[in-house]
Amino acid sequence: MKLQKFNYLLIITFIWLATACQTKTKDLLTQLKALPNVSVEKIVGDTTFTEYYEMWFTQPIDHENPELGTFKQRVLLGHRDLSKPMVVEIQGYNIWTEKAGELSKLMDANQLTIEHRYFNHSRPDSLDWKYLNIKQAAADQHTVIQALKKIYTNKWISTGISKGGQTTIYHRYFYPNDVDVSVPYVAPMNLEREDKRIYKHLATVGSEEARSKVRNFQIACFKNRKQLLPLLKDYAKKKKYNFKMGVEKALDLNILEYSFAFWQWGNTTIDKIPKSNASASDLFAHLAKASPFNFFDSKKIKQQQPFFYQALTELGMYSYEVAPFKKYINYDKDLTFDFTLPEGADGTFNPKSMLAVNQWLQTKAEKMLFIYGEYDTWSATQVDLKDNTKCQKFIHPTGSHGTRIKSFTPEMQTKIVQTLETWLNIDIDETKLIKK
């Protein structure tokens, strides 16, 4: 009888737990569906989360004039538990992945991923470019965060990588109280349309030997330009690339881009750079690998046009320095990215926004932890906090644009985690990071 009673209680307990889980799922979905101007669907996403949802927020094209029209903004939600923190992955482009990011894994947190306006799925039917600016994008993110804060009431952390890191900074500038802490990764803080600090970085980064090898490789490519052109034409045909600026200029641009890409990504090493007397085919193979030509493909440019528009009108960009190669190429001035602008769009740069954000970072910003790689070309325009000790910046020696918290030494990882623990007043399991 005792065994039967035990089995009966076990069955009842199992049924109760199953019902509780179903109720919890239903409760969360019900709460999500109750949010205004949002459509929700439960989907299969990163299975490290207990539940995963795709949401579409109806956003005004102009938050200051909602009558102008709306668009749908894609948002993903990875749910673990309502009692856990929420990490907001603020994208600077489209949503690249459904996977949990570094901070979500580290904190065993929920994750909200917000696609940037005008990118991929989150586009109005008609693109009026003047509404693609940091203020409108921050208002999008504010709307999403405030909606979900009605459900998730624990700590909130915003983060983003590269342009997503920039976007994280801008959102925090406009809405400093939306989240408790922000962690922008490898985020440039450009102050000019073509920020010349890039030139200084490329002239001083790494060792003199490494810089010489990079420069000599570029010179070798220019010297072998006639031999490289047919190789590029064949390569472009095979890859179905189309260069609006012409194949000759595309080659020049890519050779100039090589130094930027080499130090930005670190996806090739100095010892793999071909010697100056290498064959044209060897030069071309290395160039195409280290600095992919699809960056200048018309289709790729079209996909990334929102980025180029923002960079050239508000966020700042870089240009290609012609002077060191004047002997081999014939351009009157440094080459800019104006060829990427949408047809008919005004490409005038207004520095007002970046100067204001920069001033705020150096004086009023709080609890922002910046991650950079020393060698990364974009570190040339990294955030300069001046005397603002309310934020922290960590630079990984020799690090690239792929630098993350896990890239640092165990000692530095501990310091970073302790900073986050202090700011958030929570305990973080540091063992979740991959040690070097």
**Residuewise pLDDT in 10s, the chain (436 residues):** 544 555 555 555 554 444 444 444 558 999 999 999 999 999 999 999 999 999 999 999 999 999 999 999 999 999 999 999 999 999 999 999 999 999 999 999 999 999 999 999 999 998 999 999 999 999 999 999 999 999 999 999 999 999 999 999 999 999 999 999 999 999 999 999 999 999 999 999 999 999 999 999 999 999 999 999 999 999 999 999 999 999 999 999 999 999 999 999 988 899 999 999 999 999 999 999 999 999 999 999 999 999 999 999 999 999 999 999 999 999 999 999 999 999 999 999 999 999 999 999 999 999 999 999 999 999 999 999 999 999 999 999 999 999 999 999 999 999 999 999 999 999 999 888 765 4
C-alpha angle with apex 430: 378 to 385, nearest 5 degrees? 35
Tokens for 341? 């602008």
What are the angstrom distances between the C-alpha of 268 and each of 203, 259, 288, 413? 19, 11, 12, 26
Token reading at 101: 């990011």
Task: Identify the H or E element spanning 16.
Answer: helix 2-33
How crowded is residue 59: how many other Cβ atoms within 10 Å of its Cβ?
23
CB 43 within 8 A of CB 52: yes
Examine residue 346 and state whether it is found in any structural domain, yes or no. no
Buried/exposed 105-138: b ≥16 CB within 10 Å, e otherwise:
bbbebbbbbbbbbbbeebbbeebebebbbbebbb
Instruction: Look at the alpha carbons of 392, 393, 397, 400 in this order and tell me if their dihedral is positive or negative.
Output: positive
Residues 82 and 187 in one domain: yes
User: Helix 163-174 vs helix 134-148: angle between axes, to the nearest 10 degrees?
Assistant: 80
In a domain, 412, yes or no: yes
> Does residue 182 sit within a domain?
yes
The β-bridge relationship of strands 51-60 and 70-79 is: antiparallel
Based on the fold, state whether residues 357 and 319 are members of the same structural domain. Answer: no
Q: Do 9 and 68 have their domain in common? A: no
Domain count, the chain: 3
In a domain? residue 167: yes
Q: Could you give the C-alpha distances from 152 to 50, 145, 285, 331, 414, in angstroms and in order?
A: 15, 10, 50, 56, 27
Same domain, 255 and 277: yes
- The answer on 106 and 27 residing in a single domain is no
**Domain membership flag for residue 104:** yes
Could you give the CA distance from residue 189 to residue 316 in angstroms, rounded to a whole number? 8
CA angle 81, 86, 92 (to 5 degrees): 140
pTM of the model: 0.92
Contact assessment for residue 116 and residue 91, using Cβ atoms and an 8 Å cutoff: yes
Residue 1: give the domain boundaries: 1-32
- 371 and 245 fall within a common domain: no
| CATH number of the domain within which 364 lies | 3.40.50.1820
Q: Are residues 206 and 285 in the same domain?
A: yes
Per DSSP, the three-state class of 126 is: coil
Per the CB < 8 A criterion, the answer to whether 73 and 59 are in contact is yes
Helix orientation angle between 208-223 and 247-265, rounded to the nearest 10 degrees = 170
